[in-house]
Structure 1
């Protein structure tokens, strides 16, 4: 690839990265502002945590609806429409006068989430040669990780200083930057040839696609069962000051970025093995966090390691679903984001349920460990399914060869 061609591919990817940065910021920054939002809207912290669940469920519901609405639309126009929804939703969050309206605004914003990441991942892969697809998708998802390096700590600090509503107004402004960038530099890309939405949804009959989505869901559930309540964990268990929380979130975001880059580099080589190893290591780190969360420096070392692991699995899981659903990549990629957010909603709900049942914040990581262990077990089911699919494909190839020989 020449330098000019390389740059032409990377500039549109950066526009997608800015969009991912904005979406990641609005999804994750609520965790850093949970006490402020709860106090302002007159609800408890676990109740405010339902804003995380509501957003995630908005992604889940929005995934098939937006996939249906945009299935035949040009991809550039679709991405611009999604960023417009994102901007409006965040502006509504910034002015919401009550918890109910805040929840409605979060759900509306979430409708853009799955379709943007799903379609954006396929667009990113199409902008580069085949052997660089995982890296291209990792670059787009780097926006999501950078949101945790810059967006979440910065948004948390801004919300603590000026009020949480200013944070959502700034996120809306980031959406405007992404919209202008996509309009200016993304090439026109027609809609992918489609046999029809009903035909595309048949991809969900493939166990490999469903298993990939299930592992995405468990990965997210393991993360959000704990990370949704990271602010009270750091404040009440680790005894970190409000200003120190932003530093801890920054370290977590650095870990996410490193993990995303590493996952993108390794995803093209034995991705399922990488997924299995990461799930197992997350179990160990979550178990360790029940002890390290009690001390400042051990907790500070644990958070970036945890972040690196949870996002190292994102590129291989996304690649797995897209490759298994080669006849409907946009739909499968979008629905995989829906699966991820089923995990987000479930994890946030289970974490809140554990707290309301009397589980102390220091023991909450055991919930994340149990969910990661379930993902580890499911990876072995996925390996068996891959082998079965390989034998089926080999037998079919032999039959076709025999027919051709005769």
Structure 2
């Protein structure tokens, strides 16, 4: 360990818990995820206003995900010498600018510019979030802090779907994005007054990503992440056709079921901290196992009883609520020395899995209908559980000297 690393480690170990700062990061998660998924609930009025097709308006979501994937891999390296407080505040400013540009976009080009900026903020924030939490709270409190951080995701998802469409009808889609801008501004103020100065750690050249993924067991973990999120989003993308076509739900039952999914997802996120304090490996294994079994049950028993379908969908939401928290905790455990680079790899993997899951689900939907989607999702999730059981490590994975040399050269 170098003198710098020793001093840095000692300083971080003495950092007191800052739960208000963690909450400010949760606000950041909520604001970013809300902004990311708002176009899905405002697609028709956005397309009409900008005089474009719904498909073109839908690219507002796609471009954000693609840019977030790239940003998650690059931001930690590009900002390696900057105070993490300043980087996080800059990303929040970028989020505000992105929402303002979208709110006043006169045509598609400006809409996409705003969404590109949001993608940079989204990918950069997610890449830094787990490592930042590690520096704000004690090691024992990391699972609980990550659980708090991720509660912003289900709340934002529900809000984007329900509030987005409701407020869009009341005040117009542009004003919805202005309200999101105001929320982003509140987040920036809270972060400004609560986030402490956080000196950058060791320099993280781009080669660090290569050296991290080359560590024994890391590639297996990344593949497991891809399978889990790919399976989930294959199902979730087509949950509405399942509930309408197989469960034969009307609009009221559909809305209630999606709300139940969101509430259960929120509870699962809160429960994740409790589960992870007891066993990280069991949580990583149990959640995809439960979801995989549910996928096959929905494929074989779906439509038998509406009440049973609602229960299984809600249970799926609960199980998935713990998944992002569990894998973020995993990366802080196995590569604590490169948590930022590891966080970037996870974010990139998730963004890729979202795209792959939707694509695989679409192919299966065309081939065998929504029941085929459920079976495919279940298979992917069971494969993820099997991979966790036989190949995923939960103890720190040390880097080799050759990896360190290779990273430094890139």
Q: State the TM-score bracket (shorter-chain normalisation).
A: 0.7 to 0.9
CA contact (8 A) 2:333 2:394 kept: no
Residue 316 of structure 1 is matched in structure 2 by 326
Please state if 1:12 is matched with 2:21: yes
Query: Any gaps of 5 or more consecutive residues in structure 1?
Result: 394-406
Q: Which residue of 2 aligns with 1:279?
A: 288
Q: CA deviation at 1:78?
A: 0.7
Q: In the alignment, which of 304, 311, 317 is matched to residue 301 of structure 1?
A: 311
Aligned residues: 385
Give the RMSD, CA atoms, in angstroms. 3.4
TM-score normalised over the length of structure 2:
0.81
Structure 1 pair 124–293 and aligned structure 2 pair: CA distance change class (3 A): farther
Task: Label 1:312 to 1:191 Cα distance change in 2 as closer, same or farther (>3 A).
Answer: same
Aligned 8 A contact 1:225 1:368 in 2 = yes
Q: Secondary structure at the match of 1:267?
A: helix
Distance 1:245 1:34 in 2: 19
Match of 1:331 in 2: 341
CA contact (8 A) 1:208 1:321 kept: no
Q: How far did 1:287 drift? A: 2.5
Inter-CA distance 295–272: structure 2 relative to 1 (3 Å threshold):
same
User: CA offsets, 1:259-294, max 9 Å, x none?
Assistant: 112222222443223212211111122223344468
Q: 1:145-204 CA deviation, whole Å, 9 max, x = no partner?
A: 222344432223323555544443333322111111101111222212336553464212
Residues 88, 125 of structure 2: 8 Å contact kept? yes
CA, structure 1 residues 188+333, in 2 after alignment: closer, same or farther (shift >3 Å)?
same
User: In structure 2, what is the Cα distance between the partners aligned to 1:88 and 1:61?
Assistant: 19
Displacement after TM superposition at 1:364 (Å): 2.9
Q: Name the counterpart of 2:164.
A: 155
Structure 2 unaligned blocks of 5 or more: 1-13, 401-410
CA contact 2:67–2:123 (8 Å) conserved in 1 = no
State the SS of the aligned residue for 2:80: coil
Asked if residue 347 in structure 1 is aligned to residue 363 in structure 2, the reply is no
Contact kept, 8 Å, 1:134 with 1:319, in 2: the verdict is: yes
Match of 2:69 among 60, 84, 88: 60
Moved more, 270-279 or 93-102: 93-102
For the structure 1 residues 388 and 241, does the alpha-carbon distance in structure 2 shift closer, same or farther, using more than 3 Å as the test?
closer
Counterparts in 2 of 1:222 and 1:29: CA distance versus 1, 3 Å: farther
Do residues 382 (structure 1) and 391 (structure 2) align? yes
Could you say if the C-alpha distance between residues 98 and 347 of structure 1 is closer, same or farther in structure 2, counting changes exceeding 3 Å? farther
Give the TM-score normalised by structure 1: 0.81
The CA deviation string for residues 52-83 of structure 1, in whole angstroms up to 9 with x for no partner, is 44332222111122122222211111111111
Which range moves more in the overlay, 23-32 or 174-183?
A: 23-32
**Corresponding residue of 1:404:** none
- Over 3 Å counting, the alpha-carbon distance change for 1:389 and 1:136 in structure 2 is closer
CA contact (8 A) 1:256 1:307 kept: yes
Partners of 2:227 and 2:113 in 1: CA distance: 26
Q: Distance between the aligned counterparts of 1:387 and 1:16, measured in 2?
A: 26
Task: Name the CA distance, whole Å, in 1 between partners of 2:156 and 2:28.
Answer: 10
Other-structure match for 1:130: 139
Match runs of 1:248-259 below 5 Å: 248-259=257-268
- The CA deviation string for residues 196-228 of structure 1, in whole angstroms up to 9 with x for no partner, is 553464212114333322222222212222323
My pick for the range that moved more, 23-32 or 256-265, is 23-32
Match of 1:108 in 2: 117
Among candidates 171, 186, 189, match of residue 177 of structure 1: 186
